[in-house]
Structure 1
Amino acid sequence: KNIMDSHGMGEGNVGWELGYEQRIGIPYLEYESLRRMMDQCQFVDGSDILWSLRTVKSKIEIDCIRKACDATSFALDKVFNTMHEGMKETQIVKNFFSYMMEADADKPGFALIASEKGHYDRISNIGSDRRIKKGDLVWVDGGALYNGYWADFGRAGIVGPVDQERQDYQACVHEVTMKAIRAIKPGITASDLAGACIDALVEYGFDPSSFDCGRLGHGMGIMSTEPPSITQQDETVLREGMIINIEPGFVKENGVFNIEENVVVTKDGAKILSGAKRTLYEIKC
């Protein structure tokens, strides 16, 4: 209260992070206590102003996200190249985090893993003591942090020889993702981009709803998921400097097929920041 009063914020409207995918940063009861004490001002939702500042990134912010992506790319390549039959999901996640740090990330962000027939639709699984076995498709998704900025993308491999069917599925989802990325440019809406993803999935004969994360992509910055949300309901207009994570995918009985890419919207298109191998890795037996 003293700080706010000293900055002339004791009356009038005071904007707070009260909107979608934002946080106040203090316990709710403390917020309510402060609001009662500041009885000469109105606490209002400042989300529109704050998100207008946050969705378009500066060059410095984009460089931070690029470094987070570089660390994540290195970690994905190395975790699949050192993975082997019999390794626990939890050990794979630990190794993934360790390799992020080896690549100069400030700290690991998060990791998700799916590796078992009958559970590929559990795309938010954080890992268990299950040991991977020959024939499993292992999908790892996650991201590192650099200077407070995130990366978020995933890749996949097969324990043992890579069969043609799943390699074909992986090639299809890569082409779907690239078609969506080629549609990105300033002036289109998030709903336009969602439509491009859905159209490409349907063109290849896949069910867009089987990869059940509720959307086909999202923004990213100082949070791993930020607006806009790539859905047919979001009419946010894309602008140069926005970071968009594009992630169309589909789930089959024999695997989850999703090659998320982190891109920055440029003046005439989009530039991919994420890396690592897009084809399926062959994991050692």
Structure 2
Amino acid sequence: MTTPGILSSTRSDQKSKILRERHEAIWAEMRAENYDAIVVAGRGLITQYGYLEYVTGWCPQVRLAYAVVLPGQEPILIMPTNSDAWFARQATGLTDVRAAGQGDVISEQDSLPQVIADVITEHRAGSGKIGVVGLRHIVPVGDYEMLKNALSQAQITDATALVGRVKAIKSMDERAEVVRSAAIADAGMEVFAQRAGLGVAGWELWGDIQQEVRRRGAQHVLVMVGTGPFFNDPPRSDALKAGDLASVYVEITGPNGFWVEKASLFAVGSLSDEKQRLARACLASHAAAEAALRAGNTAADVAVAVEKVATPAGVDFGIWHGHGVGVDHDIPVITQTDETVLAEGMVMALHPNFVNPTTTVGVSVADTYVVQEGAPQRGSKIPQELRHIERND
């Protein structure tokens, strides 16, 4: 299947253009904060791959890797193996890609921090201000200690927020890539709608959705078919039965690396009054959140819109109400304590999720939006409504 747009695993003029725009924005932030270099960490895990892929156009599938960014210069990649370095060169076109170990996650023979220090010293920044992106949640303690020892004259600080600010605002080209990913998630959801029926096991449906999105180039994939109080359920052998209310999640990155979330509610036959009540409350809160998702409002404003519907319904929350997305997760988080002002070009996943006080019924829906001056642009083409499954298999 031909997929339009950029591909994260290969080079292209369009990808190079996007990366150059990102580099220029990051260099400007570095100069404003007097950074001599930043070190960007990443590994192929959701919430941990995005900074590195955003900056360089590539992140290994599993192993930890780093990039060194110096003002006005293209990133220098430090990969754990020759294999990873080869793939990085194919995907990025960067001229300085170094291999620094054997990639065994349990050995002590790799020394990526020493190579990072060598790069920084080569560029005469060893006694300057060095920022580390991913310091708190990606970089291992051992790597941090080795880096501090190797750059004992440097001032090392957390620079995650620096890249996070740039990363949160998408260019027009990036917004188009988000929409392309959303079309793949929609295709997965429609497969569920076509395949679901009484007696069909959860893991069969999970497999059908996986197959559809994978064949369209999805990279990271989270599929959840939950009929219990919380949506984030692993695939199970339990079959759909009459009276089930299913929260179906299709969360993916497309072949371009851009993340989207789509979730819909499905009723299997007739629902109990309690399930109908929670379904209505969830859909109403989603609509209220969408209405509040405007440039100039805060993330807290969107959370308040959700909770104005939720509080009278007497429900509890499974997790927060949403967050920024793009190349992996982004700022802000939709909670009443996050006062981040929404800006044009932010991309937000809204996912209100409610559970009743007895923890017996849960509901959740999700959509991905591009924030604009007026109404946000919705990535999905599937209406957000309670869908019905009536047929038997």
Report TM bin, short chain: 0.7 to 0.9
Among candidates 251, 261, 264, match of residue 367 of structure 2: 261
Larger radius of gyration: 2
Contact 2:201 2:236 in 1 (8 A): yes
CA distance in 1, matches of 2:135, 2:391: 47
Matching residue of 1:198: 307
One-letter amino acid of the counterpart of residue 230, structure 1: I
The Cα shift of 1:19 comes to 6.0
Report the count of equivalent residues. 271
Name the counterpart of 2:126.
Answer: 10
Q: Does 1:133 align with 2:241?
A: yes
| Aligned partner letter, 2:244 | D
Equivalents in 2 of 1:42, 1:237: separation in Å?
31
Where has structure 1 moved over 3 Å in runs of 4 or more?
A: 162-172, 252-255
Distance 1:240 1:144 in 2: 23
How far 1:35 sits from its partner (Å)?
Answer: 2.1
How far did 1:234 drift?
0.7
Contact 1:69 1:143 in 2 (8 A): no
The residue number in structure 2 matching 1:121 is 229
Q: Tell me the SS of whatever aligns to 1:16.
A: strand
Higher RCO structure, 1 or 2 (CA under 8 Å, sep 6+):
1
**Residue among 267, 285, 293 paired with 1:184:** 293
User: Which residue of the partner structure matches residue 211 of structure 1?
Assistant: 317
1:96 corresponds to which residue? 209
CA-CA distance at 1:194 after TM superposition: 0.8
Q: CA–CA distance in 2 between the matches of 1:112 and 1:9?
A: 47
Alpha-carbon deviations, 1:140-190, whole Å to 9, x = none? Answer: 11312121111112112123x344845565344323212221122221111
Q: Secondary structure of 2:290's partner? A: helix
State the shift of 1:67 in Å. Answer: 1.3
The answer to whether structure 1 residue 110 and structure 2 residue 222 are counterparts is yes
Instruction: Pick closer, same or farther for the CA change 1:222–1:23 going to 2, 3 Å.
Output: farther
CA contact (8 A) 1:113 1:141 kept: yes
CA contact 2:226–2:233 (8 Å) conserved in 1 = yes
Distance 1:281 1:49 in 2: 45
Query: 3-state SS of the aligned residue for 2:184?
Result: helix
- Partner residue, 1:244: 348
Change (3 A) 1:283 1:57: farther
After superposition, what is the alpha-carbon deviation per residue over 1:79-114, rounded to whole angstroms, capped at 9, x for unaligned? Answer: 121122222222221111111124x23325212221
Partner of 1:276: 382
1:45 match: 158
Distance change (3 Å), C-alpha of 1:177 and 1:282: same
Aligned partners of 1:97 and 1:108 also within 8 Å: no
Gaps of 5+ in 1: none
- Looking at structure 1, the residues matched to 120 and 248 of structure 2 have their Cα atoms a distance apart, in angstroms, of 45
Greater Cα offset, 255-264 or 182-191: 255-264
CA RMSD of aligned residues (A): 2.3
